[in-house]
Amino acid sequence: MRTLETTFAGLSLKNPVIVSSSSLTDNAEKNKQLCEAGAGAVVLKSLFEEQILQEVEGMEDFDPFVMGGNDLTEYFRHHKLEEYFALIRDTKRMVDIPVIASINAYDEGNWTEFAQKIEAAGADALEINILALQTSLDYQYGAFEKRHIDILKLVKKAVKVPVIMKLGDNFTNPVALIQQLYANGADGVVLFNRFYPTDINIDKVEQCAGNAFTTEADLSKSLRWTGIASAAVGNISFAVSGGVHNAAGVVKSILAGASAVEVCSAIYLKGNGIIKEMTDGLAEWMDSHTMDNIPMFRGMLNMHDRNEGINTFERTQFLKYYGQFKK
């Protein structure tokens, strides 16, 4: 009998569609509605310590130099943290699917504190978000990768729940990093985190925000690296994020080697109903291709057939792509 059930980072999901961290998941009632719409899991809106500190500094009556300034900072920080822990507890009471917390700490010493309290609040897993650009002239090659590994080690020592690393796409060799993350206890990786889009307004001659939503074209990069990495590091779970807008995107991601997908823009653009469209479309595809379960075709089209070290996932596809265009 055909089933859409899958396992990602040790979590049992009724289907591969995970709602990714965003304002879609910042409220327990919203998360209940996403669960009712058919989501396999939800990743709660990320807890950014740096954002908390910025909010404190932006308060009209906040002056860090006056007596009590540090007390106010600590009070506001504690209040924001408690709000997040309450979100975990409330969501857990209202849904019957895995609830994944997401954090980005500013001070390295706080990763352990955040992780432990999140676990105590009842989160089923923890997604680590270390998205950043490395632009310093003094940057030491490999330092950013090492930071991922060091933070993972801290968190793994502090909690027993699965730890998922959501990676940006700004690494020279994601495969080597994923191998090291697996060796240091990561239960899953998500490819890829998305930088805030930037643009330039030529009328006002100023920087501005770019398009906040992904398109189906954004899926390509995640498919490529999932296809390469899932073949090279086969003992860790993969999820694709960015550009999954329909059932075809879900199928492609699984064929490339993913166990699940994280969806955000498609829900913003089309509403919660897109989740059922994705799962129904996935089921129809599986039926038409005689696939009884996700493992039967997960990774079917990853780079497992590499020939003498040649990266066929990149080079052969590159030749085929440009070979179709004639002047």
pLDDT in tens, 17-44: 999 999 999 999 999 999 999 999 999 9
pLDDT over 80 at 326, yes or no: no
How many structural domains is the chain composed of?
1
CA-wise closest residue to 9 among 280, 214, 248, 262: 262
In a domain? residue 311: yes
Instruction: Look at residue 67 in the predicted model and tell me its pLDDT.
Output: 45
Residue pair 95/38 in contact (Cβ under 8 Å)? The answer is no
**Structural domain contains residue 105:** yes
- 1 belongs to a structural domain: no
Domain assignment of residue 127, yes or no? yes
**DSSP symbols for 248-273:** HHHHHHHHHT-SEEEE-HHHHHH-TH
Looking at residue 49, its pLDDT comes to: 63
> What residues contact residue 313 under an 8 Å CB cut-off, 6+ apart?
224, 227, 228, 302, 303, 306
Q: Whole-model pTM?
A: 0.89
pLDDT at 54 over 60: no
Residue 3 has pLDDT above 80, yes or no: yes
Look at residue 312 in the predicted model and tell me its pLDDT. Answer: 55
| Residue 128 resides in a domain | yes
Per-residue pLDDT tens over the stretch 101-110: 998 865 566 7
In the block, residue with structure tokens 């930037």? 198
Residue 80 or 229, more confident: 229
C-alpha angle 75/77/82, rounded to 5°? 95
- My answer on whether omega of the bond before 76 falls inside 30° of 0, hence cis, is no
Per the domain annotation, does 191 fall within a domain? Answer: yes
C-alpha neighbours within 13 Å on the C-beta side of residue 312 = 10
Name the pLDDT band for 138 (thresholds 50, 70, 90): confident
Domain of residue 216 covers 6-323
Dig out the tokens for 111 from the structure: 């990763």
Residue 57 lies in a domain: yes
Mean per-residue pLDDT of the chain: 88
On whether the CB atoms of residues 40 and 260 are closer than 8 A, the answer is yes
The sign of the dihedral angle between the CA atoms of 27, 33, 35, 38 is: negative
Quick check: is 294 in a domain?
A: yes
What's the length of the chain? 327
Query: Is the pLDDT confidence value at 195 over 80?
Result: no
The pLDDT-based confidence of 64 (bands split at 50, 70, 90) is low
Position 9 confidence tier, pLDDT thresholds 50, 70, 90? very high
pLDDT of residue 308: 47
Query: What is the mean pLDDT of the segment spanning 203-229?
Result: 93
* Confidence at 112, pLDDT banded by 50, 70, 90: confident
User: Which residue did the predictor score with more confidence, 243 or 131?
Assistant: 243
CATH code of the domain containing 135: 3.20.20.70
Q: Count of alpha carbons within 13 Å of 81, Cβ hemisphere only?
A: 21
